[in-house]
Amino acid sequence: MGQVNIRIKFMPSGVSVNLEKIKEDVKKFLEKHGGKGFMFNEEPIAFGLKAVIVTFLYPEEKEFEHVENELAKIPHVNSVQVIDVRRAL
């Protein structure tokens, strides 16, 4: 089967949250569930708050909904939003 390219936005719980720790936790979790090819970006929101955007490949045949729900439980993450899902060729 193929791969899907997924983009997710993680909103930290505050300005003082260590974004590198969030990136590390997200990468470890997603690798454990089949994710690979990670790319991280930071997006300014307001008043010094930045969101973490992760883009990665995920196996097309695996369900992602349960993984998305578990990502919201990462410490210091206020919300998780899937921005884009596309089939990778």
pLDDT of residue 46: 92
Q: 10 Å Cβ neighbour count for 14? A: 10
Answer yes or no: pTM beyond 0.85.
yes
pLDDT of residue 41: 97
What share of the chain in percent tops pLDDT 70?
Answer: 100
**What CATH number corresponds to the domain at position 32?**
3.30.70.60
pLDDT of residue 88: 80
Domain that residue 35 falls in: 3-88
Total domains in the chain come to 1
d(CA 83, CA 55) in angstroms, rounded, equals: 10
Cβ atoms of 38 and 55 within 8 Å: the answer is yes
Nearest CA among 60, 53, 56, 49 for reference residue 87: 60
For the chain, residues with pLDDT lower than 70 are none
Nearest CA among 88, 87, 76 for reference residue 21: 76
